A and B are shown apart, each in its own frame.
Chain A
Amino acid sequence: MSSPVAVRSIDSLKDLRVSLALFGEEALGALGAVGAELRRTAYWLQQDRPAFWQEQIKRRREEVSSAKAELFRRQLAKAPGSSLSDTDQVEKVRRAEANLQEAERRLILTRKWQVQLNQAVLEYHGSVRRIKTLAASDVPSAVNLLNRLVDALEAYLQETAPSTTNVVSSTAPAPPAFATIATKMIEEAPPPPPDDATVEGEEDLPGDLPPEE
């Protein structure tokens, strides 16, 4: 037997349907945008940075050699007791060596992050797994259910009260299709997945992903 129906505004159900549909689109759009940014950074870290810092180390080693050679020539040019200063050359060597050490440190950091970013990505995927499933599956089911409920209510109104629009009161006989459809669809909708369920593609790690244009 159908339950009493108490819907005072079909338009409100329609608005909810629109709102849920937009939510689904926005949620998936936001997840896509974050995923694209993640892939950009991962590609930069895995592909661009190692080559960049290795090249920097090579170039800075050459600068250290050059600065040392310049200092050596300066020291050779100094006669004993001469007032000729090599302060600038010493400073240049110091700066070049500091620059080299900085590049070596950055390369080490790059390699450290290549490992740690994978862990951060796994944690991120874990945090969005549920909303991804809800937005991709449950929200469309809810929108579909609302579609059918609205159709059932509108058909009922057309049959029973052509002059009345948009209102099905609790005192009216229950539209037979309404509760039947609602109950059936809610019961048939698969339950939300457990939190550790895997969503296709989310196990990809940054190193496996192509750059996003």
Chain B
Amino acid sequence: MPNARVLAGAGRLKQAARSVRDQWLMTEETWTDSVRKRFEDRFLSPLEPAVDAAVHGMQALADVLEQVRRDCSDRSESL
């Protein structure tokens, strides 16, 4: 089982990104000028790929840390 603390961090990041996306969907309904588009391009559009990359990296790290614990612990030790 992958490292739970690292997976929790990935979940936290995903949830935070989801909240921003949901809020943005509501905001863009009430903000329809050209500044909105520029704001979105400059500040919001980069978030999703960055969050996806980070979540992917955290999940990979969670697997590695779990493997380290499993390989380097004694059977008698609780992980």
Residues of A within 8 A of B (CB): 3-9, 12-13, 15-16, 19-20, 22-23, 26-27, 29-31, 33-34, 37-38, 41, 44-45, 49, 52-53, 56, 106, 109-110, 113, 116-117, 120-121, 123-124, 126-128, 130-131, 134, 138-139, 141-142, 145, 149, 170, 178-179, 182-183, 186, 189, 192
What is the interface residue range for chain B against chain A?
Answer: 35 or more
A131 touches B61 (CB 8 A): no
Q: Which residues of chain B are within 8 angstroms of A52 by Cβ–Cβ distance?
A: 74
1/0 contact string of B1-40 vs chain A (CB within 8 Å): 0010110111011011101100110110111111110110
In angstroms, Cα B58 to Cα A33, docked, is 11
Interface of B is mostly: helix
A120 touches B19 (CB 8 A): no
B35 touches A141 (CB 8 A): no
Partner pick for B6 among A4, A19, A34, A138, CB 8 A cutoff: A34
Which chain B residue lies CB-closest to A5?
B33
Which chain A residue lies CB-closest to B56?
A127
B68 touches A113 (CB 8 A): yes
B32 touches A170 (CB 8 A): yes
A29 touches B12 (CB 8 A): yes
The verdict on A138 contacting B13 (CB below 8 Å), with A41-B65, A49-B72 known, is: no
